[in-house]
A and B are shown apart, each in its own frame.
Chain A
């Protein structure tokens, strides 16, 4: 139900409230993946989330990187997929691959 613009609404509210915020965006997909390119997840400094970049499979790992991006200000490019050991840990069960870009909102 949350499209990318609803995510940005919440991100805007968090920023107005003076919170540290990061945005994660699905930028490439291969094979079957639960959310299309352009899907976004907003994360605030406390780890609160809005939107999604998967069906819930990789959000935990993405939030961790988002918090790191809020802390150091550097963008990150994350790969998740069946060829990646981490994917098994975080469980991208659909067998697809996704690339997620994480950046701090300045």
Chain B
């Protein structure tokens, strides 16, 4: 591996860009395949590029054989993001746990008393309204959004924006009763049944969670499950090597 390749891979992560590193195993020759461009000596091989683009789409690294050569395709995708709306007690457990799982975590809350760096060491904290913060951040398919404030004037605009994006997970804290009222309010704002059904609420897997940390685990477990099922569906049946 070239030092420049290491730098390029780190740079792609900073820019939240997916990239595939194709390495020919016989001599360690390298080519970087980005969504829009290709850099390296294997770049002229159409079959290789097609394989690299497929690997990128399903997010799975693999060894392929192209023209009698063994090529390893290593897929580097930007870390999934978790955006937590509400710098509340549960968020104080959820943020560090999600960081441990390699999520890129952002906590958003316009209330200054809540959204302080000292309550969330090492996590990005934004003192903004969620819908405005989302515009800055840019929601994408590798992002999960969870609302935790219980306050409709904070949660509802966040949910509305999230549902209009292609985030892979939307969760909202609140009882069934709260969730039913939420449905009525969002319907008035033009969110139909099918869109509303994307919200996981009451949030998290039903593991009898009570404490903030337990609720954080149930939310993270649900996010892991949703992401894994989605990738399985994209990849189709796993091909087992002989």
Q: Which residues of A contact B (CB under 8 A)?
A: 1, 3-5, 8-9, 11-12, 15, 23, 25, 27-28, 30, 36-38, 75, 77, 99, 101, 103-106
A5 in contact with B9 (CB, 8 Å) = yes
Query: Contacts A5-B76, A8-B6 known; A75 to B63 CB distance under 8 Å?
Result: no
- For A104, what are the chain B residues with a Cβ–Cβ distance below 8 Å? 1
Query: Contacts A28-B241, A101-B25 known; A8 to B3 CB distance under 8 Å?
Result: no
For the complex, would chain A's binding face be called helix, strand, loop or mixed by DSSP majority?
A: mixed
Counted as pairs of residues, one from A and one from B, with CB atoms less than 8 Å apart, the total is: 61
**Could you list 10 A-B pairs, sorted by A, with CB under 8 Å?**
A3-B102, A8-B6, A12-B3, A12-B6, A25-B74, A27-B63, A28-B62, A38-B61, A105-B1, A105-B3
Docked Cα-Cα span, A33 to B47, in Å, equals 29
B241 in contact with A25 (CB, 8 Å) = no
Docked Cα-Cα span, A3 to B101, in Å, equals 9
Interface pairs A-B: 10 shortest CB-CB: A38-B61, A75-B28, A27-B72, A103-B28, A37-B61, A27-B63, A105-B1, A5-B13, A3-B102, A15-B3
For the complex, would chain B's binding face be called helix, strand, loop or mixed by DSSP majority?
A: mixed
Q: Which residues of B contact A (CB under 8 A)?
A: 1-3, 6-7, 9-10, 13, 23, 25, 27-28, 60-63, 72, 74-76, 79, 100, 102, 240-241
Docked Cα-Cα span, A36 to B10, in Å, equals 20
A5 in contact with B23 (CB, 8 Å) = no
Q: Which of B6, B13, B27 contacts A75 (CB 8 A)?
A: B27
B63 in contact with A11 (CB, 8 Å) = no
Query: Contacts A8-B6, A27-B25, A106-B1 known; A3 to B79 CB distance under 8 Å?
Result: yes
